[in-house]
Amino acid sequence: MRMTFSSPRLWLFAGILCISIYPILIRVTPVSGVTAAFYRLSIASLLLWPYVLGRNQWKRETLRFWKPLVGCGVLFAADIASWNLSIQYSSATQASLLTNLSPIWVGLTSFLFLPQKPNRFFWLGVVVALAGLVLFMGFQLFADLAFDRGFGLGLLSGICYAAYLMLSKRVLRSVNILNFMACMTTVGSIFLLFLCLLGGEKLNGFSTLVWESLLTQSLVCQLLGWFSVSYALTHIPAQQVSISLLSQAVLTALLAWLLLGEQLSASMMLGGILLLTGIAITFRK
């Protein structure tokens, strides 16, 4: 299928590529995951508002949707915070697996409550993609699963992730992307600042390299990455976007192999192929 610059699928791929860099940056940046999440949203918010207001992009009718906008901000921030805390209490692999169960929650919610039901290709693609994800992450992970605080936080992260995708899909029907992102990042920043203060997280005194990493996380992963995903959400069903985001794991592994010298096993490569095949199946009509 031919894709142009305005193709939602092209924007979705670009967004996933930008978001895939985030775990690499988190791994090499010596700050708390919650602190990094706070600066990811707060820097984005500080950069967005002057542009939105200076370019006369602000629409006053956006305030009519303040409740779902607040919901989106809290859900997005809760997703990032829960994921980071889950890593601290368990492991990055377990936390990533539980977070990436979001397509199941999106699909079930759509099936039960929304008029636009997922078709049989969506469910087939979910099964194939999750099988690929399991193979990609390794069967040993399931033998080591601990149903503890880390497990609960990872599960919460996936649910918040799914809820954010579905709610933002609805909000973006009535609010333009720049207004949506400015409001969402501001609410999320306030929520994460509260979590940082509550947990006694360090918020200053970082080296220049750390600040550069935090700025990159905000500019590339948040602004460019989620702007692209939000654009895709205005044209592609939330179920397909949610399962497409599973490919972050594959792209992150490839980037870690290229940049950090991490190993790619044969089972990981096979799992990645299965995962991407499952995603492709969900786009069949």
Cβ-contact 243, 284 below 8 angstroms? no
Length of the chain: 285
Whether residue 155 has pLDDT greater than 70:
yes
Is the backbone of residue 205 left (phi > 0), alpha (psi -120 to 50) or beta? left
Taken in order 185, 186, 191, 194, the sign of the CA dihedral is positive
Q: What pLDDT score was predicted for residue 145?
A: 62
Mean pLDDT, rounded, of the chain: 84
Chain position carrying tokens 């799992």? 271
DSSP annotation of 247: G
Q: How far apart are CA 219 and CA 181, in angstroms?
A: 13
Greater confidence (238 vs 17) lies with: 17
H or E element: which one contains 160?
helix 149-171
Least confident of 12-16, 53-57, 85-89, 271-275: 85-89
Please, which contacts does 120-124 make with residues 24 or more away whose CB atoms are closer than 8 Å? 121/281, 121/282, 121/283, 121/284, 121/285, 122/239, 122/240, 122/243, 122/282, 124/278, 124/281, 124/282
With cut-offs at 50, 70 and 90, classify the pLDDT of residue 146: low
Q: How far apart are CA 236 and CA 257, in angstroms?
A: 31
pTM: 0.82
Q: How far apart are CA 26 and CA 21, in angstroms?
A: 9
**Domain segments of the chain: what residues?**
8-282
Whether residue 2 has pLDDT greater than 60:
no
Whether residue 108 has pLDDT greater than 60:
yes
Highest mean pLDDT among 71-85, 120-134, 246-260 belongs to 71-85
Give the angle subtended at the CA of 177 by the CAs of 76 and 81, to the nearest 5°.
Answer: 10
Give the angle subtended at the CA of 224 by the CAs of 18 and 125, to the nearest 5°.
Answer: 50
Whether residue 141 has pLDDT greater than 70:
no
One-letter amino acid at 64 equals R
Chain position carrying tokens 């918020």? 203
Highest mean pLDDT among 177-181, 231-235, 247-251, 273-277 belongs to 177-181
In sequence order, the 6+-apart residues with CB closer than 8 A to the CB of 149 are 89
Please, which contacts does 204-211 make with residues 24 or more away whose CB atoms are closer than 8 Å? 206/31, 210/29, 210/30, 210/31
Q: How far apart are CA 247 and CA 17, in angstroms?
A: 9
Q: Is 170 helix (H, G, I), strand (E, B) or coil?
A: helix
Q: What pLDDT score was predicted for residue 3?
A: 47
Instruction: For residue 237, count other CB atoms closer than 10 A to its CB.
Output: 18
